[in-house]
A and B are shown apart, each in its own frame.
Chain A
Amino acid sequence: MNKFTYSTAILDAYNFLLKNYPEVFVIGQGLWSPWYVGNTMKDLDKKFGKKRIIDTPVSEAAVTGAAVGASLNEMKPIVVHPRMDFMMYAMDPIVNQAAKWSYMFGGQSSPSITIRGIINRGGEQGAQHSQALHSWFAHIPGLKVVLPSSVADARDLLIASVLADQPVIYIDDRWLYDQEDNLPEAKEIKLESINPCILREGDSITLVGCSYSTLLLKKVTKKLIKNKIYPEIIDMRIINPFHSELITNSVKKTGRLFVLDGGWGPCGISSEIISSAVENVDPNFLKSKPARLTLPFTPAPTSKVLEQEYYPTEEKIYKNILKIFKNNL
């Protein structure tokens, strides 16, 4: 077993894909520089050549569109958006072209493209350098959206995304990069087989998150157990297509639901998780109202002081969960 961090696990996935699949290439801004993507792509250009690791002009829309086109011509491109906020320029190639392509042409042609969007926030970067917009892409039929939380998933979900024949949005959060884990050799998993998973079984409350939120939920577990609250933690892993079975079965068991999300609340993945429970769990099972903690509904602030108020902390999460037990139905 080799020791990996979340970020070197991503690098391992690139190495695996580029070594074994000549049709894989990577394109995006900053790929020949160590500045943009941490150590997730270290030396790939030196190892595999600048023909397969393509640094680009600052043209998110055309670069993403070109990758969609390349995927229609037998290649398997990975587009990298070092900061998700800039990926907004590429909404047409993603939402109008890639997501609709198979459907419009009766399944005869499909963009097998992976679009990697990195959530990169904190450190007083402010409103346009902070966003986590995974929920947007979960709203669109025709896209798959994966958000690895664990070190193993960081690698294995990237491999699964690239090998899939469909357009996939792969989102990683830089706040996860330093996690460590021992991993076996890289392997291929079918994207169709990726489901949410239970990280910890418990019967007091169902806690659901994805990406960095899952890590925060894991972190508050100890404190909850001290208070005799035994949480069941579910990591979403994939939010499009949205799989509700695991969540609803868990809520039937625990009677309580708390969702944590690093995006905004309205019309977001937290809303979808709660509505799936409300639609599928008989009210008799519920011991309290489902609850959630998301970002305040404002753009991200710049000041460090305001940032502390803005982002969820273990303390805030803990308090919100306790409230659920005080407000039993």
Chain B
Amino acid sequence: MKDLNNNKIESITSEKEINIDNFSGDELLEMLSKMILIRNAEYKIAKGREIGLVGGPVHLGVGQEAIPVGISQYLNNNDKVFGAHRSHAHILSLGIDLKSFFSEILAKSSGISKGMGGSMHLFGGSVGFSGSVPIVAGTVPLAVGTALASKLKGEDAISISYLGDGAMEEGIVHESLNLARINNCPVIFVVENNLFSSHLNINLRQPKELTYRFAKANDIESKVLDGNNLTSICMTSKEFIRRCRAGEGPFFIEAITYRWFGHVDWREDIDVGINRSAEDLKYWKKRDPISRLKKSLLKNNFVENHLINLEKDIQKDIDNAWMDALKESSPEWNESLNYVFKRN
């Protein structure tokens, strides 16, 4: 059988505008707004980190916004979403309260993890976000477990496990894929393949650039996508989520993308690692998921001024939420001691 996924990175991704034929204007604007919110919130965090307002490491995903926005579009609050170290976009795309999110980035007690997590430990039970942690692949088996629980309870909730191409190199992921498949767990593994693990290009870590081969090895249905094409993500996401709810899981999505910042914090990190040049960055910025959606919208009679105003409003919300979060207080020591064990 011909392997439809087996293409080169260059032919999977593109600079071109995207096909928006099957989407309503409202839906597209909603998703565009989310992508802009995520991007500009991350720029805010980058600046905050640079000038010392954010105390801990931040892993930014600017350039990768289309993936979680396309996935979250078809989820509900009963679903269980797990992230990793680069998860701002995952939780923002689920509609978490912006000020509480910023409060957490700033380690304030009113934050979504009560100021105990910061950027790397995000929690949003109310929007279906079960947690993100910075141990690479640490949450992958947990997502299989929440899915197993949903199945045992006879519920149609599904689990999403976000992981990167680096996480695919962890042994526990391969155990998790097999375990999920042998128990037919309703989980979708979403690999955001940005071609880098920390400083190191995938070509120096794996014999092939695409990781869906591990889904194949575990007999899990998979699809490789242009991660910077929102509507392409949406179509697969919608189909896999529907089928996953119907008991056909697990599924595996590999979305090819690129992060504009380095592994951690606000710098671009050109050539601190290996195979990350200014030219590569330029190449990938031309494949910007937001610009590509905007181009398509403008071609389809959306008014440019409308989009500009939309972005202005979002920026205002971000600025206000950030200013409010800065005024919040830090967690109390005595209170923190109560968090080691949940009280019965």
Q: A104-B116, A106-B117 are in contact. Are A165 and B178 (CB under 8 A)?
A: no
Q: Which residue of B lies closest to A67 (CB)?
A: B145
Q: A68-B142, A164-B344 are in contact. Are A57 and B117 (CB under 8 A)?
A: no
Please, how many angstroms separate the alpha-carbon atoms of A93 and B173 in the complex?
A: 12
Q: A108-B123, A142-B340, A166-B342 are in contact. Are A56 and B179 (CB under 8 A)?
A: yes
Task: Chain A residues near B171: list those with CB within 8 A.
Answer: 61
Residue from the list A97, A103, A108, A164 in contact with B125, Cβ < 8 A: A108
Q: A231 to chain B: closest CB distance in Å? A: 34
How does the 8 Å CB contact mask read for A112-145 relative to B, with 1 for contact and 0 for none? 0000000000000000000000000000011010
Q: Is A25 an interface residue (CB 8 A)?
A: yes
Q: Is A75 an interface residue (CB 8 A)?
A: yes
- A residues contacting the other copy or chain, number (CB 8 A): 46
Task: Chain B residues near A189: list those with CB within 8 A.
Answer: none
B135 touches A70 (CB 8 A): no
Task: Chain A residues near B308: list those with CB within 8 A.
Answer: none
Task: Chain B residues near A102: list those with CB within 8 A.
Answer: 339-342
B144 touches A65 (CB 8 A): yes
Q: Is B148 an interface residue (CB 8 A)?
A: yes
* A 243-266 contacts with B by CB, 8 A: none
Task: Chain A residues near B121: list those with CB within 8 A.
Answer: 104-105
Please, how many angstroms separate the alpha-carbon atoms of A102 and B139 in the complex?
A: 14
A142 touches B145 (CB 8 A): no
Task: Chain A residues near B250: list those with CB within 8 A.
Answer: none
**Complex interface: stretch among B149-157, B198-206, B260-268:** B149-157
Q: Is A215 an interface residue (CB 8 A)?
A: no
B178 touches A65 (CB 8 A): no
Task: Chain A residues near B61: list those with CB within 8 A.
Answer: none
Please, how many angstroms separate the alpha-carbon atoms of A103 and B336 in the complex?
A: 8
Task: Chain A residues near B140: list those with CB within 8 A.
Answer: 62, 65
Q: Which of B145, B147, B152 has the most CB of A within 10 A?
A: B145
Q: B332 to chain A: closest CB distance in Å? A: 11
How does the 8 Å CB contact mask read for B46-65 relative to A, with 1 for contact and 0 for none? 00000000000000000000
* B 108-161 contacts with A by CB, 8 A: 113-117, 121, 123, 125, 130-131, 133, 135, 138-150, 152-153, 157, 159
B141 touches A68 (CB 8 A): yes
B142 touches A65 (CB 8 A): yes
- B residues contacting the other copy or chain, number (CB 8 A): 48
B143 touches A69 (CB 8 A): yes
Q: Is B307 an interface residue (CB 8 A)?
A: no
A107 touches B339 (CB 8 A): yes
Q: A61-B171, A62-B175 are in contact. Are A105 and B138 (CB under 8 A)?
A: no
Task: Chain B residues near A141: list those with CB within 8 A.
Answer: 340
Residue from the list B114, B142, B343 in contact with A66, Cβ < 8 A: B142
Please, how many angstroms separate the alpha-carbon atoms of A190 and B152 in the complex?
A: 26
Q: Is A179 an interface residue (CB 8 A)?
A: no
Q: A57-B175, A104-B133 are in contact. Are A166 and B145 (CB under 8 A)?
A: no
Q: Which residue of A lies closest to B155 (CB)?
A: A73
B179 touches A66 (CB 8 A): yes
* B 167-217 contacts with A by CB, 8 A: 171-172, 175-176, 178-179, 182-183
Q: Which of B140, B144, B152 has the most CB of A within 10 A?
A: B152
Q: Which residue of B lies closest to A98 (CB)?
A: B142
Task: Chain A residues near B117: list those with CB within 8 A.
Answer: 104-106
B344 touches A61 (CB 8 A): no
A107 touches B148 (CB 8 A): no
Q: Which residue of A lies closest to B115 (CB)?
A: A106
Q: Is B301 an interface residue (CB 8 A)?
A: no
Q: Is A271 an interface residue (CB 8 A)?
A: no
How does the 8 Å CB contact mask read for A56-97 relative to B, with 1 for contact and 0 for none? 110101111111111111110100000000000000110011
Task: Chain B residues near A192: list those with CB within 8 A.
Answer: 344
B114 touches A57 (CB 8 A): no
> Which DSSP category, helix, strand, loop or mixed, fits chain B's interface?
mixed
Q: A62-B141, A65-B145 are in contact. Are A107 and B114 (CB under 8 A)?
A: yes
Q: A62-B179, A68-B145, A69-B146 are in contact. Are A101 and B131 (CB under 8 A)?
A: yes
Q: Which of B123, B147, B175 has the most CB of A within 10 A?
A: B175
Q: Is B334 an interface residue (CB 8 A)?
A: no
Please, how many angstroms separate the alpha-carbon atoms of A104 and B133 in the complex?
A: 9
Residue from the list B138, B148, B179 in contact with A96, Cβ < 8 A: B138
Q: B189 to chain A: closest CB distance in Å? A: 13
B340 touches A72 (CB 8 A): no
Please, how many angstroms separate the alpha-carbon atoms of A67 and B340 in the complex?
A: 20
Please, how many angstroms separate the alpha-carbon atoms of A164 and B146 in the complex?
A: 19
Q: Is B223 an interface residue (CB 8 A)?
A: no
B179 touches A166 (CB 8 A): no
Task: Chain B residues near A108: list those with CB within 8 A.
Answer: 113-114, 123, 125
Task: Chain A residues near B339: list those with CB within 8 A.
Answer: 102-103, 105-107
Q: Which residue of A lies closest to B161 (CB)?
A: A69
Q: A100 to chain B: closest CB distance in Å? A: 8
Task: Chain B residues near A52: list those with CB within 8 A.
Answer: 152
Q: A94 to chain B: closest CB distance in Å? A: 11
Please, how many angstroms separate the alpha-carbon atoms of A93 and B138 in the complex?
A: 7
Q: B91 to chain A: closest CB distance in Å? A: 12
Task: Chain A residues near B80: list those with CB within 8 A.
Answer: 69, 72-73
Q: B185 to chain A: closest CB distance in Å? A: 8
Task: Chain B residues near A100: list those with CB within 8 A.
Answer: 133
Task: Chain A residues near B179: list those with CB within 8 A.
Answer: 56-57, 59, 62-63, 66
How does the 8 Å CB contact mask read for B308-337 relative to A, with 1 for contact and 0 for none? 000000000000000000000001000010
Task: Chain B residues near A72: list those with CB within 8 A.
Answer: 80, 130-131, 142, 145-146, 149
Q: Is B305 an interface residue (CB 8 A)?
A: no
Q: 8 interchain pairs (CB within 8 A)?
A: A54-B183, A62-B179, A66-B148, A69-B149, A72-B149, A97-B135, A101-B131, A102-B340
A→B interface (CB under 8 Å): 25, 51-52, 54, 56-57, 59, 61-75, 77, 92-93, 96-97, 100-110, 141-142, 144, 164-166, 190, 192
Please give 4 more A-B residue pairs, beta carbons under 8 A apart, in addition to A103-B339, A104-B123.
A65-B144, A73-B150, A92-B172, A142-B341
